[in-house]
Amino acid sequence: MLRVLGVVALLVAGCISSGAQAQTKMKLGLTRTVTIGGVLYAAEKGWFKQVGLDVDVQFLDASASAMVLLATNELQMVEGGLSASYFNALQQGLPVRIGTDSVSSPTGHGLVVRADLAGTVTSLKDLKGRNVAVNAPSSISLYELAKILETAGMKLDDVEVKIVAFNNMEAAFKSKAVDAAILVNPWVADIPRQGLGVSLVEADAVVKPFPIVISATFYNTDWAAKNPKAMQDFYTQMIRGVRAYCDAYHHGDNRAEVSKTIIANDLAPNQEFLDKLQWTSRDANGGINGDFVLDVQRWYVEQKLLPSNLPIEKLVDRQWSQAAVKALGPYEPSNKASTLKGCGRPS
């Protein structure tokens, strides 16, 4: 009898071991912004593990530098800005592609001026000759800055562009190392909250074509081809997490729970701050404005950062998000009384 029990125990142990081995490992690179809260929430709830995925989250200073890691399969997924490095990777035939948006209107992005300059810099033209920070060279923030300056008949050459990582923006404002900066959540709200800066221009109000798409999910196409089920499972659970984020965005019953995830991952300082902040939006169905993606590419070509333009079908692959939406069904915010735009509602 003892021997039989021993065999059963071995079989059970073998099954547990086999189950552990069945977990498909994925490395996910994320740039710090409030909208990644949905993906982190999905991981925290164990939704990826439920479908056999072991997702290793790595935080990035900028997605531009992560594109090499994605192309070489060091990372299988990246959520970050539409930098020139992505389009260059495609021009070189590297195995990367956009799957969904990860930040879209209303983005909450904006141009913030140092507080002590508020009385001097009252319009964009007052920035002429001054230094303006973006988080990375050839980044989507640089595109945003150029488009904002264009509304005042200005060019990038009219300002001195400085590169400052988002995590260092607060220190740069305090030390007066920068006169102004393109900021994203939570810094776009936190720096003014601390009395370090004042908002000059909101990106959503002036940047076209609308809605704007600042950030996206990128994936390694070679890895996806070899692991189609894992890739689809990831996208389905990711969009499930995005919808949880959107419910919280619209002040649903889960807002406190999602807020805890956001705060625990240093995406916002505290609950009081999050309650006052207008959260950044993303598409609850993983959609993306192709016209905007094409405009970003066109601008990079004009800046001679890219050799030529590629068609939208070479830039974006919607198959994963479309299959996820089919599996999850249509989305409607749990708080039907919400009047907020974005995150599942027209922006």
Report the pLDDT value the prediction gives residue 13, as an integer from 0 to 100: 44
pLDDT tens digit sequence for 155-168:
999 999 999 999 89
Reply yes or no: is the peptide bond before residue 211 cis, omega within 30 of 0. yes
Entry pTM: 0.87
pLDDT tens digit sequence for 119-159:
999 999 999 999 999 998 888 999 999 999 999 999 999 99
Report the pLDDT value the prediction gives residue 195, as an integer from 0 to 100: 97
Domains and CATH numbers, the chain: 24-104+212-328 (3.40.190.10), 110-206 (3.40.190.10)
* CA pair distance 58, 43, nearest whole angstrom: 13
Report the pLDDT value the prediction gives residue 66, as an integer from 0 to 100: 87
Place of tokens 């009219």: 158
Report the pLDDT value the prediction gives residue 277, as an integer from 0 to 100: 86
* CA pair distance 137, 118, nearest whole angstrom: 26
Report the pLDDT value the prediction gives residue 2, as an integer from 0 to 100: 37
Q: pLDDT tens, position by position, for the chain (347 residues)? A: 434 434 444 344 444 444 445 799 999 999 888 999 999 999 999 999 999 999 999 998 765 578 999 999 999 999 988 989 999 999 999 999 999 999 999 998 999 999 999 999 999 999 999 999 999 888 899 999 999 999 999 999 999 999 999 989 999 999 999 999 999 888 999 999 999 999 999 999 999 999 999 999 999 999 999 999 999 999 999 999 999 999 999 999 999 999 999 999 999 889 998 988 889 999 999 999 999 999 999 999 999 999 999 999 999 999 999 999 999 999 999 999 999 999 999 88
Residues 293, 315: contact at Cβ < 8 Å? yes
Structure tokens at 266: 């240093």
For the chain, give the secondary structure using H, E and C: CHHHHHHHHHHHHHHHHHHHHCCEEEEEEEECCHHHHHHHHHHHCCHHHHCCEEEEEEEECCHHHHHHHHHCCCCCEEEEECCHHHHHHHHCCCCEEEEEEEEECCCCCEEEEEHHHCCCCCCHHHHCCCEEEECCCCCHHHHHHHHHHHCCCCCHHHCEEEECCHHHHHHHHHCCCCCEEEECCCHHHHHHHCCCEEEEEEHHHHCCCCCCEEEEEEEEHHHHHHCHHHHHHHHHHHHHHHHHHHHHHCCCCCHHHHHHHHHHCCCCCCHHHHHHCCCCCCCCCCCCCHHHHHHHHHHHHHCCCCCCCCCHHHHECCHHHHHHHHHHCCCCCCCCCCCCCCCCCCC
Backbone φ and ψ of 176, nearest 5°: 65, 30
Residues 98, 293: contact at Cβ < 8 Å? yes
Q: Which residues pair with 236 in a beta bridge?
A: none
Structure tokens at 227: 């692991």
